[in-house]
């Protein structure tokens, strides 16, 4: 019997999808199925997938066009092998990814999550940088702390885990546009165990204008609120309470700054009259709950202070929008500065 399932949800994958699928089919270890959740693509993706003659590929077409959340929700409903990994259609597995994972699992049979080191690439496939170094074994608390401190690189591709564990938690949480849902999924799977990590660089993660960079700030804010609620619930685990209490506010404030500066790019009506001050108030309240510190505040952070000042009157909002039209840093530099 095959041991692994590689799961690929896709809609309009274009040339990125072809490279992704070819990288999967080129694995040195052949004990896997490729399960594709095709979501009513209109760019020829469906036709190209149907043309592939490979019995490892199983395609699950959607009956109607689905949201990204509903398409990924289907992962819990399809037959899967013992271990699964999820991949974005624009990412690539290096030839020995599954071979590396197989060795890692055999050496660490009791781990909850498995991961390898990896490489960040740009839209054209050129190397940007290696991922931040990770220890070969991380307990749940250490993994969560490092993730919240952003001292390791966490994303939705590369992790492997048992399909039974995935189904037991009802799959990936359906946060808005799935932003922060990967964090919540990994935290849920590992909360009572550990992560085993291979030093081999076994896949490539593509950095470009992804969902979080292009997202409406209201959607982005909703997703962060869903994640903070998740953290509040997770902190009831006594093994993780202190780690979340001490580190979640830093994570939340970082992304609150990011969303605040996104809000400034929109006119008030376009952002449903949500002000930076209102946004900060919401997430300061969340930080007070998680940190159990009623006086907690991040309003003195430079990024928040500047956003509050700009958003304080019509003229500074207008000047900021004009400035951003003239000066807009390359997207890759923005992404690198966020790590």
Give residue for tokens 């070819």. 22
Residues 240-277: tens digit of each pLDDT:
999 999 999 999 999 999 999 999 999 999 999 999 99
Q: What is the pTM of this model?
A: 0.92
In the 8-state DSSP scheme, what is residue 261? H
pLDDT(187) > 60 = yes
Residue 255 · residue 261 · CB < 8 Å? no
Phi, psi angle pair for 178, to nearest 5° = 65, 15
Q: Nearest-CA neighbor of 82 among 200, 168, 1? A: 1
* Mean pLDDT of the 316-331 span: 77
Orientation of helix 217-234 relative to helix 241-263, angle to 10°: 170
Residues 64-115: tens digit of each pLDDT:
999 999 999 999 999 999 999 999 999 999 999 999 999 999 999 999 999 9
pLDDT at 323: 86
Residue 312 · residue 260 · CB < 8 Å? no
Q: How confident is the model at residue 42 (pLDDT cuts 50, 70, 90)?
A: very high
List the alpha helices (DSSP H) in 266-301.
276-291
pLDDT(338) > 50 = no
Task: Please give the biggest Cα pair distance in the chain.
Answer: 66
Q: Nearest-CA neighbor of 94 among 218, 181, 202? A: 202
Give residue for tokens 């109607």. 64
pLDDT(211) > 60 = no
Alpha carbons 259 and 92: distance in angstroms, whole number = 29
pLDDT at 214: 60
Residue 279: which residues within 8 A CB-CB, separation 6 or more?
A: 221, 256, 259, 260, 263
Q: How confident is the model at residue 336 (pLDDT cuts 50, 70, 90)?
A: very low
pLDDT(331) > 60 = no
Residue 140 · residue 164 · CB < 8 Å? no
CA distances 164 to 93, 167, 170, 199, 317, Å, are 23, 5, 10, 26, 50
List the alpha helices (DSSP H) in the chain.
14-25, 45-51, 68-73, 97-107, 140-148, 163-168, 181-190, 211-214, 217-234, 241-263, 276-291, 302-310, 314-326, 331-337
Q: How confident is the model at residue 337 (pLDDT cuts 50, 70, 90)?
A: very low
pLDDT(59) > 60 = yes
Q: How confident is the model at residue 216 (pLDDT cuts 50, 70, 90)?
A: confident
pLDDT at 334: 40
Residue 118 · residue 205 · CB < 8 Å? yes
pLDDT(210) > 80 = no
Question: 205: which 2 tokens?
Answer: 């993660």
pLDDT at 324: 81
CATH (one of 3.40.50.720, 3.40.50.300, 3.10.290.10, 3.90.550.10) for 4-206: 3.90.550.10
Phi, psi angle pair for 177, to nearest 5° = 55, 15
pLDDT at 122: 93
Mean residue pLDDT across the chain:
93
């Amino acid at each position: 019997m095959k041991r692994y399932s590689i799961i690929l949800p896709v809609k309009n994958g274009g040339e990125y999808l072809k490279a992704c699928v070819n990288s999967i089919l080129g694995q040195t270890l052949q004990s896997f199925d490729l399960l594709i959740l095709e979501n009513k693509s209109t760019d020829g993706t469906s036709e190209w997938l149907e043309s592939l003659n490979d019995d490892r590929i199983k395609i699950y077409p959607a009956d109607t066009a689905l949201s990204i959340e509903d398409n990924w929700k289907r992962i819990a409903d399809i037959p899967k092998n013992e271990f699964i990994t999820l991949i974005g259609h624009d990412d690539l597995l290096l030839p020995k990814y599954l071979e590396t994972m197989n060795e890692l699992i055999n050496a660490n049979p009791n781990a909850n999550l498995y991961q390898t080191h990896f490489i960040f690439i740009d839209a054209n496939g050129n190397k940007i940088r290696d991922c931040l170094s990770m220890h070969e074994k991380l307990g749940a608390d250490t993994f969560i702390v490092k993730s919240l401190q952003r001292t390791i690189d966490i994303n939705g591709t590369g992790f492997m885990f048992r399909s039974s564990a995935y189904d037991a938690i009802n799959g990936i949480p359906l946060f808005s546009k799935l932003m922060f849902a990967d964090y919540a999924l990994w935290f849920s799977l590992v909360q009572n165990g550990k992560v085993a990590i291979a030093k081999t660089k076994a896949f490539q993660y593509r950095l470009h204008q992804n969902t979080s960079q292009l997202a409406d700030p209201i959607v982005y804010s909703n997703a962060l609120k869903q994640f903070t609620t998740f953290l509040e619930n997770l902190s009831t685990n006594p093994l993780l309470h202190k780690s979340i209490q001490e580190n979640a506010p830093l994570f939340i404030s970082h992304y609150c700054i990011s969303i605040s500066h996104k809000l400034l790019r929109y006119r008030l009506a376009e952002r449903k009259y949500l002000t930076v001050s209102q946004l900060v108030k919401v997430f300061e309240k969340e930080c007070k709950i998680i940190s159990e510190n009623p006086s907690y505040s991040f309003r003195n952070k430079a990024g928040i202070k500047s956003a509050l000042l700009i958003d304080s009157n019509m003229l500074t909002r207008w000047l900021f929008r004009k400035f951003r039209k003239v000066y807009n840093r390359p997207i890759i530099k923005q992404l690198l500065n966020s790590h």
